[in-house]
């Protein structure tokens, strides 16, 4: 058996995708709508306020296409907090106008491919690397940004079996992948979270960027990289744009 | 790692497929119907009027089969405009009689396989090529036309891995593909838009033509071309015919 | 690139599968039911009457199993006529008691594998062959018959790539397939219609026969033929029996 | 082309899976429920009574899991009878509390792998074999029994292509399979029915036994047999237990 | 044909996944809610009380993500008891606020890979091993714990065919797998139950642990083990946390 990488885990992540029940919304009396919008905005603002207290982060996105209208992203130190958030949202009047169309449960992860030394002794690595790794484990969501989310796994086919490669081969491939990612530094930031044992694919990838063509470009370029071209298997892709909870009324007004 | 092609992007595209809720429509009072039709026709005409001002294009199609009754195609300079269009349509009374059955988000793309020179210096290529490329990035939708839409990806299997071919091999295959397409010049026009990072497949292909058998013929002939026969993976196909928004009442009357 | 076959196209085909909403039907007042049955029978009879005027053919089938209760098959010279038929059916009172569960859009096709000569000069082939080909393009639906419908494609896998075979290899395989089909002459008639660019598979196959075991036998025997065993990929199969529109009340009565 | 086996067909089979609409049932007035139960019990008893007259057999099963609550199995000499049964069930008041979640249409089949001689001349084989074959074609459903139903096909992959094996190879593999089955004689009885051309897989397999672990054991053991391990492709599995129609009220009471 | 392992079976298992109908819950009058909660808590407590009497075990979990809100796990000596539990739950007022989204039917299993001797003569093995095996067949669910459930099968592909390996090869691979599992002793306990012939995959795996990252770690590490990397095929993963039935009101309050 080949060697599995060591891993460090940070915040748990919930990606909560919802469609709007526009028929119900259109038919709702004005007063009901106002109350629903107030409750939802308060709920979302309260969640996002956490970002300032280092206990996680939350954000709301407007999603394109028929699979979802809204995406709520929540990062929290425990799975239990995520569980409470999804249930308490259902207690708001606004929830009546939404239906869950997809979700993803994962935990931010940094693995030994990035730095063997860090896993032997976190104090042995320089501050920059340590801050980099810790930033990956407790990510902040940029203010005005586009998001792309997709789940992925590594293949286990006869000639394309990631889990059959030696640690060194995998580390080399991940290093090449990382170099490519760094070319997009300043344009794209990404959150990698493992969902092994937690959800249907092995990882959830969340990309943030100011220009959606940068999102397209990085994913396209990486697809030519062996780590993806031979070993990557991808699920559905969702694209959206962040908006502040206070803009929910404008969002619902079309 | 093999070389990824350079790409240029133009308008973003939203393909918005909807089924009609015929039961609700049959039961709606005549006055409700009339109001719904007026609102929808006004909404669609307003969107299509843009075509005259170079800020995008929009069109409405009657789709065959159970997967959709209507297709709205929108091309716009930003993703945000597409997002607003899909939400503002939900504000019309007509939206109550429709349900979204599918959608596709992409961005028109020309890649380095077409012309290396253009990507080095757009001024270095002749006017004809430049206009060709720019026409691909800001496409116009023909007036009276059939449409065929399908999403597709390139394969990454052991013996059929597009992303493992050298740039030259890919450029050769794409050139052959392009030659075949040119044999249908005047009969079929196509819009290629990348959805890498944006939607579930890598590209969305939209074909326009006056005769649906030309659509069948070009797709069939191309399937024998190596770029498709070895490397193409195709999603669902949708076929429809454009009609002017003013004909929506006739469309709904059966 | 290997050579694509020439093709001739005839009538467009719509296979329209519907489930009955038995709960709504059970609850409907007797008068509503009667009106619905009358409207539907008139609608269907009108469509079938066309068969006598060489402008197409239509038939109604009772389908077994949960995926559909009814199948309407329509052959027409244009896609627009099929589009109108599906929408005008929605205008009948009976449509309220049905839901579309599946459909298939295609166009009858004869290809160069059958006869190279016909495609060079239709006049050069003998009357029998010409009538055979024309019968394939403008098919009549037998009166009292079972139907089996299924969509199919040809494989494009590394060792089973139909689109990578030479024209001669494909023509040989199709000839063997045709010989097998002829052994069922008088028992089974079939309509082959291309859906390349029009629907999700490459062809729709409709078999008609007086005995459902003949349907099973021909499909089973053909599965051992290389054209199917190596290169065929099949979708869902639907089986039903034709009944005259006038028998719709009996059909609905159980 | 390799040789297809000869086949003999017997009764047609309909496996009709239904979920209970428990919300509607809970809300129904006592009198409605009683009437529904009486109608359904009478309907089912009438169908099962046929078993005594050699015109088929019918049975009702309580199914585990979310995919179905009830399974009705019907064997009949013609497809038309099955068609009538499924429609006439919809006429009962009880049908309102059920929804069809799955179904399977097939015809009992014995093939030339079992006995070449029988197909040349049924009189040439001994009485035991002839009775065995006829029992397979007109099966009886045991009284108090567990059932497992699953659809299956034979693979047509490059290195695992059943339809590319010689008749002798297939006959050998089927003989080994049959030997294994005979080890469970007295514990498990099975009905094999072809659905080629009739439904989505090639066969429907129905196993009956007094102990569900025998069902698990035979399917597990057979999976190691080459006929399954290399060539078998399996659909969903459903497990349930037979109960007499008179126990329907107890079944619905929980 | 290679040798199938001997197996011993214990309790049958039902994993019953349900989503909450939050809209109906929000709209229900306070008195209805209270009654529903009382009935459900009593129902669940009654089921869990069995654990103390060695006749099975039951537990309730709060599940993350859109695919389910609640998971009820039931282990019982017979399939009939599981069948009664699922139907009698439908008789509670609380069931009206839930919908079944998934389920899994299986039977706990220990196979000859673990100990040949035990299957020859259970008395011949030492008490520790016997208790270990019996604990696997009649599992207890830990009190305060996270759960991960997923179904899986072994592959039967040309180069990755588990069912084509010799018994010794399979036993070696399973031994390596077991060693890995033992490294998580005290942190993760697992229940393996066969669903061959009973449900859609070959086994259901249920992991229990106090820390969800241990769940991720064991599944991830095992994926590098040949038994998984080459031969494992996995379905959907569900993660949740146990709570006592008395906490159902708190759970529903968000």
Taking only the tens place, the pLDDT of each residue in B105-118 is: 999 999 999 887 88
Minimum CA–CA partner of E88 in chain D: D254
Tell me the pLDDT of chain B averaged across its residues: 95
3-state percent breakdown (helix, strand, coil) of chain A, nearest 5: 45, 30, 25
CB contact under 8 A, E3 and D224: yes
CB contact under 8 A, C230 and D197: no
Specify the 3-state DSSP secondary structure of D234.
strand
For chain E, the chains sharing at least 3 beta-carbon pairs closer than 8 angstroms are: A, D
Lowest mean pLDDT among B152-161, D43-52, E26-35: D43-52
Nearest neighbour of B79 by CB, restricted to A26, A212, A254: A212
Minimum CA–CA partner of D176 in chain E: E1
Alpha-carbon distances, residue D88 vs B138, C250, D82, D91 (angstroms): 58, 11, 10, 5
Q: Which residue has the tokens 């820390």?
A: E211
CB contact under 8 A, D225 and E1: yes
Contact assessment for residue A5 and residue A112, using Cβ atoms and an 8 Å cutoff: yes
Lowest mean pLDDT among A113-127, C62-76, D13-27: A113-127
* Residues C238-252: tens digit of each pLDDT: 999 999 999 999 999
Positions of C annotated as catalytic residues are: 150
Distance from CA of E120 to the nearest CA of A (A): 31
What DSSP element (H or E) covers A207? strand A203-209
* Residues C119-139: tens digit of each pLDDT: 888 888 889 999 999 999 999
Contacts of B15 in chain A (CB under 8 A): none
Q: What is residue B51's predicted lDDT score, i.e. its pLDDT?
A: 62
Nearest by Cα to A119 from A239, A229, A16, A5:
A5
- Which residues, given as ranges, of chain D have pLDDT below 70? 51-53
Alpha-carbon distances, residue D38 vs D92, D93, D246, D247 (angstroms): 10, 9, 9, 11
Q: What is residue A52's predicted lDDT score, i.e. its pLDDT?
A: 62
**pLDDT for residue C192 is more than 90:** yes
Q: Give the integer Cα–Cα distance in Å for D121 and D117.
A: 6
Nearest neighbour of E254 by CB, restricted to A91, A102, A161: A91
In chain A, the percentage of residues whose pLDDT exceeds 70 is 99
User: Once rounded to an integer, what is the mean pLDDT over residues A44-70?
Assistant: 90
**pLDDT for residue B104 is more than 80:** yes
Contact assessment for residue E134 and residue E182, using Cβ atoms and an 8 Å cutoff: no
CB contact under 8 A, A224 and B4: yes
Q: What is residue C51's predicted lDDT score, i.e. its pLDDT?
A: 61
CB contact under 8 A, A9 and E228: no
Q: Which of B197, B198, B200, B236 to mutate to test the interface with A (most CBs of A within 10 A)?
A: B197
Please, do chains A and B touch (3+ CB pairs < 8 Å)? yes
The 3-class SS string of B157-209 reads ECCEEHHHCCHHHHHHHHHHHHHHHHCCCCCEEEEEEECCCCCCCCEEEEEEE
**pLDDT for residue E142 is more than 80:** yes
Q: Give the integer Cα–Cα distance in Å for A102 and D167.
A: 49
Q: What is residue D135's predicted lDDT score, i.e. its pLDDT?
A: 93
Residue C207, number of CB atoms within 10 A of its CB = 24
**pLDDT for residue A115 is more than 90:** no
Q: Give the integer Cα–Cα distance in Å for A232 and E126.
A: 47
Nearest by Cα to C138 from C204, C72, C55, C207:
C55
E118 catalytic residue (yes or no): no
Distance from CA of E169 to the nearest CA of D (A): 14
Q: What is residue C250's predicted lDDT score, i.e. its pLDDT?
A: 96
Nearest by Cα to C157 from B224, B230, B235:
B230
Q: What is residue E160's predicted lDDT score, i.e. its pLDDT?
A: 96
Q: Give the integer Cα–Cα distance in Å for D19 and D33.
A: 16
**pLDDT for residue B54 is more than 70:** yes
Lowest mean pLDDT among B83-87, B120-124, C205-209: B120-124
Q: Which backbone phi and psi does D143 adopt, to 5 degrees?
A: -65, -65
**pLDDT for residue E44 is more than 80:** yes
For chain B, the chains sharing at least 3 beta-carbon pairs closer than 8 angstroms are: A, C
CB contact under 8 A, D65 and E14: yes
Nearest by Cα to D107 from D176, D206, D181, D177:
D206
* Residues E203-231: tens digit of each pLDDT: 999 999 999 999 999 999 999 999 999 99
pLDDT band at A9 (very low <50, low <70, confident <90, very high): very high
Comparing C197 with A124, which gets the higher pLDDT?
C197
Q: Give the integer Cα–Cα distance in Å for A146 and B79.
A: 10
**Pairing relationship of beta strands E160-161 and E57-63 according to DSSP bridges:** unpaired
Specify the 3-state DSSP secondary structure of E125.
coil
In chain E, the percentage of residues whose pLDDT exceeds 90 is 89
Residue among D150, D184, D231, D238 flagged as catalytic: D150
Contact assessment for residue C43 and residue B253, using Cβ atoms and an 8 Å cutoff: no
Q: What is residue A54's predicted lDDT score, i.e. its pLDDT?
A: 79
**Pairing relationship of beta strands C57-63 and C238-242 according to DSSP bridges:** antiparallel
What one-character DSSP code corresponds to residue D51?
G
Contact assessment for residue E172 and residue D246, using Cβ atoms and an 8 Å cutoff: no
Nearest by Cα to E153 from D49, D126, D220:
D220
Residue E79, number of CB atoms within 10 A of its CB = 24
pLDDT band at C97 (very low <50, low <70, confident <90, very high): very high
Q: Which backbone phi and psi does D36 adopt, to 5 degrees?
A: -60, -45
The alpha carbon torsion through A36, A38, A44, A46 (nearest 10 deg) reads -140
Residue C12, number of CB atoms within 10 A of its CB = 25
In chain C, the percentage of residues whose pLDDT exceeds 90 is 89
Residue among E97, E102, E150, E231 flagged as catalytic: E150
Alpha-carbon distances, residue C231 vs A69, C58, C157, C180, E172 (angstroms): 41, 31, 9, 16, 39
Q: Which backbone phi and psi does A2 adopt, to 5 degrees?
A: -75, 165
Q: Which residues of A touch E (CB under 8 A)?
A: 1-4, 7, 9, 12, 14, 16-17, 79-80, 82-84, 86-91, 93, 95-96, 100-105, 107, 156, 158, 161, 163-164, 194-200, 202
Q: Give the integer Cα–Cα distance in Å for C202 and C154.
A: 7
**pLDDT for residue E113 is more than 80:** yes
Two tokens, residue A14: 């919930």
Q: What is residue C52's predicted lDDT score, i.e. its pLDDT?
A: 62
Lowest mean pLDDT among A100-114, B40-54, E24-38: B40-54
Residue D155, number of CB atoms within 10 A of its CB = 15
What DSSP element (H or E) covers C14? strand C7-20
Q: Give the integer Cα–Cα distance in Å for B241 and B148.
A: 9
Nearest neighbour of C107 by CB, restricted to B67, B216, B232: B216
CB contact under 8 A, B199 and A225: no
User: What is the full DSSP assignment across B200-240?
Assistant: SSSEEEEEEES-HHHHHHHHHHHHTSHHHHTTEEE---EEE
**pLDDT for residue B4 is more than 80:** yes
Distance from CA of B165 to the nearest CA of C (A): 16
Q: Give the integer Cα–Cα distance in Å for A99 and A86.
A: 12
Q: What is residue B116's predicted lDDT score, i.e. its pLDDT?
A: 79
The 3-class SS string of B106-145 reads EEEEEECCCCHHHHHCHHHCCHHHHHHHHHHHCCCCCCCC
Q: What is residue C53's predicted lDDT score, i.e. its pLDDT?
A: 66
Q: Which backbone phi and psi does E186 adopt, to 5 degrees?
A: 90, -20
For A86, half-sphere exposure in the C-beta direction (CA atoms, 13 angstrom radius) is 33
Q: Give the integer Cα–Cα distance in Å for C48 and B162.
A: 49
The pTM of this model reads 0.97
Two tokens, residue B252: 């709904």
Please, do chains C and D touch (3+ CB pairs < 8 Å)? yes
Q: What is residue A51's predicted lDDT score, i.e. its pLDDT?
A: 62
Lowest mean pLDDT among A203-212, C37-46, C228-237, D52-61: D52-61
CB contact under 8 A, C230 and D96: no
CB contact under 8 A, C216 and D104: no
Contact assessment for residue E216 and residue A197, using Cβ atoms and an 8 Å cutoff: yes
Q: Which residue has the tokens 């006439």?
A: D88
Contacts of D164 (CB under 8 A, 6+ apart): C226, C229, C230, D2, D156
Nearest by Cα to B194 from E51, D6, A18, A213:
A213
* Residues D202-220: tens digit of each pLDDT: 999 999 999 999 999 999 9
CB contact under 8 A, A1 and E146: no
Q: Residues C71-108, buried b or exposed e (16+ Cβ, 10 A)?
A: bbbbbbeebebbbebbbebbebbbbbbbbbbbbbbbbb
User: Residue A185 class from Cβ within 10 Å (0-12 exposed, 13-18 middle, 19+ buried)?
Assistant: exposed
């Amino acid at each position: 058996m080949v060697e599995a990488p060591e891993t460090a885990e940070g915040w748990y992540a919930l990606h909560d995708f919802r469609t709007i029940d526009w028929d119900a919304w259109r038919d709702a009396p004005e007063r009901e709508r106002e109350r629903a919008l107030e409750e939802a905005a308060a709920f979302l603002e309260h969640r996002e306020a956490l970002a300032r207290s280092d206990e996680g982060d939350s954000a709301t996105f407007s999603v394109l296409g028929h699979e979802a209208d809204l995406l709520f992203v929540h990062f929290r130190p425990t799975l239990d907090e995520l569980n409470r958030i999804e249930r308490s949202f259902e207690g708001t009047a606004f929830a009546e106008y939404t239906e869950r169309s997809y979700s993803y449960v994962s935990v931010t992860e940094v693995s030994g491919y990035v730095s063997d030394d860090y896993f032997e002794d976190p104090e042995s690595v320089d501050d920059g690397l340590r801050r980099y790794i810790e930033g990956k484990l407790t990510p902040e969501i940029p203010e005005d940004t586009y998001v792309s989310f997709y789940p992925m796994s590594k293949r286990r086919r006869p000639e394309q079996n990631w889990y059959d490669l030696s640690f060194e081969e995998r580390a080399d491939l991940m290093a090449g992948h990382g170099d490519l990612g760094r070319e997009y530094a300043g344009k794209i930031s990404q959150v990698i979270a493992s969902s092994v044992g937690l959800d249907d694919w092995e990882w959830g990838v969340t990309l943030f960027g100011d220009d959606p063509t940068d999102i397209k470009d990085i994913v396209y370029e990486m697809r030519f990289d062996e780590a993806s071209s031979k070993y990557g298997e991808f699920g559905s892709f969702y694209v959206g744009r962040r908006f502040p909870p206070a803009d929910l009324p404008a969002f619902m007004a079309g």
